[in-house]
Amino acid sequence: MIHSGKKDICTIVCVLIFGIIFIYSWKSHQLQNNISRKIFPPAKAVTPGGQLCRGKPAQNTITPLEDNRTFIISPYFDDREGKVTRVIGIVHHEDVKELYCWFCCQPHGKIYVSKAKIDVHSDRFGFPYGAADIVCVEPENCDPTHVSIHQSPHGNIDQLPRFEIKNRKAETFSVDFTVCISAMFGNYNNVLQFIQSMEMYKILGVQKVVVYKNSCSQLMEKVLKFYMKEGTVEIIPWPINSYLKVSSKWHFMQDGTHIGYYGQITALNDCIYRNMQRSRFVVLNDADEIILPLKHPDWKTMMSSLQEQNPGTGIFLFENHIFPETISTPVFNISSWNTVPGVNILQHVHREPDRKEVINPKKMIIDPRRVFQTSVHSVLRAYGTSVNVPMDVALIYHCRVPLQGNLPKESLIRDTSLWKYNSSLIMNVNKVLRQAVL
Ligand SMILES: *[C@@H]1O[C@H](CO)[C@@H](O)[C@H](O)[C@H]1NC(C)=O
Ligand SMILES: *[C@@H]1O[C@H](CO)[C@@H](O)[C@H](O)[C@H]1NC(C)=O
Ligand SMILES: *[C@@H]1O[C@H](CO)[C@@H](O)[C@H](O)[C@H]1NC(C)=O
């Protein structure tokens, strides 16, 4: 009785111990799965570099997440302040409270989930949606090639969009200057001015122009194709109005719109990171603006001189000056240009005078590696100081509708700085028109 009882107790205790060990190890495995280290079996190989990564490869420039409040543009590797993945996106400033990075670690495609810091840029100008950095510290020994963003640490990885993390591999500069045109919209058809700006940029030393394209005319489409084939233009499709109500104003008018000026600020930030490794400088201006050097023949010599005078600076601000398209001078009237829609900038050489109460807005040439966050007229977060470039060194030639429309021609300042380039500009524009338009 006692003997057999001892045996029974031993069996029960043994079963209990095994049971507890089993349950405990299963639970701790579950806990691990849920909290930090979701280990999913690797799936089939996809692309080189992203072998074994799961999730649905993102197909478009703007990818809405399930919450409809978060829009992902692209993740970028950034090791300037510790190793992080910085995801450029657009979020609703109140509604999006939590996001998680689901990293795909190499070489086995293991998934590691970590919580993101959501940094909505301060320059929202009253709109409910704004540019955001969704920043995740990368796990050690992970070397992720791809990441998915999700509002929860739980979910089905196979249902989530997967993004390649750009800027992972070190590269050497391939160009000196890249111009970022942040949003081409409203069935843009100012063809002649666009071609003139492009040819001026090239004369001044630009090798690459990135255009975030929302909409443009058929003819403009042809011109962009020409420049893409030439290797100058890179088009980033920017269908932001498919997801958000966009305003064509930069500040919120209480009109139910979601985001300002076609998401310009997000595009500019994306453009900086996209070109961080390949371009020595990034130029943030609109297609109707040209930074005109007044002491140097081109941007390269101007920037060397500015950098020499301002060591430790990577942000150079240039003053904007309006040359109204309503005030013309009857020169450079080139007959073959008259059939092309748009403004002939060579005929607009009168600029509006400064106003006492108005500070002229600035546009920038930056060293992208020094910038973390940018706005339109200044940077929000960067290494080092910003320098105001004086008027005798350069100004921004900005040909558009007047800001001081009541002023007669006599009250404007005649400024023919642009004409210095007339012969090469005319020759180059003619070449493009012959090949792409006429
Ligand atoms: C998300 O946005 C789309 C397009 O605007 C809309 O059709 C859909 O109903 C939205 N979904 C949610 C959950 O709000
Ligand atoms: C350009 O010349 C044409 C005739 O050759 C004339 O009709 C037109 O008004 C001129 N335009 C300007 C802006 O001078
Ligand atoms: C146009 O450029 C040529 C050659 O650079 C120059 O000689 C000429 O003075 C310029 N024309 C004007 C009106 O400035």
334-382 per-position pLDDT tens digit: 999 999 999 999 999 999 999 999 999 999 999 999 999 999 999 999 9
How far is Cα 57 from Cα 43, in angstroms, rounded to an integer?
14
Does the domain made of 49-164 have the CATH classification 3.40.50?
A: no
Q: What is the DSSP string of 266-325?
A: HHHHHHHHHTTTTEEEEEE--TTEEEEESSSSSHHHHHHHHHHHSTT--EEEEEEEEEET
CA distances from 422 to 171, 351, 418, 428 (A): 37, 18, 7, 10
CA of 336 from ligand 2 middle (Å) equals 11
Residue extents of the structural domains in the chain: 49-164, 175-437
CA of 330 from ligand 2 middle (Å) equals 7
User: In this structure, are residues 371 and 88 in contact, taking their beta carbons and an 8 Å threshold?
Assistant: no
DSSP letter at 237?
A: E
Q: Is 328 in the pocket of ligand 2 (CB under 6 A)?
A: yes
What's domain 175-437's architecture? Answer: Alpha-Beta Complex (3.90)
CA distances from 65 to 14, 68, 276, 394 (A): 50, 6, 26, 43
Ligand having the closest approach to the CA of 348: 2
How far is Cα 306 from Cα 294, in angstroms, rounded to an integer?
13
Tokens linked to 181: 């045109």
| 131-148: average pLDDT | 96
- Mean pLDDT rounded to a whole number for the chain: 91
pLDDT digits (tens, 9 = 90+) for 262-310: 999 999 999 999 999 999 999 999 999 999 999 999 999 999 999 999 9
| Residue 112: per-residue pLDDT | 96
Name the closest-CA residue to atom 2, ligand 2. 333
Q: Is 336 in the pocket of ligand 2 (CB under 6 A)?
A: no
Q: Which of 419, 424, 427, 429 to mutate to test the pocket of ligand 3 (most atoms within 8 A of CB)?
A: 419
Rounded to a whole number, what is the distance in angstroms from the first to the last CA of the chain? 109
Banded pLDDT at 27 (limits 50, 70, 90): very low
**Could you tell me the pTM of the whole model?**
0.88
Q: Is 329 in the pocket of ligand 2 (CB under 6 A)?
A: no
Name the closest-CA residue to atom 12, ligand 3. 419
| Residue 170: per-residue pLDDT | 87
Longest dimension (CA), the chain: 121
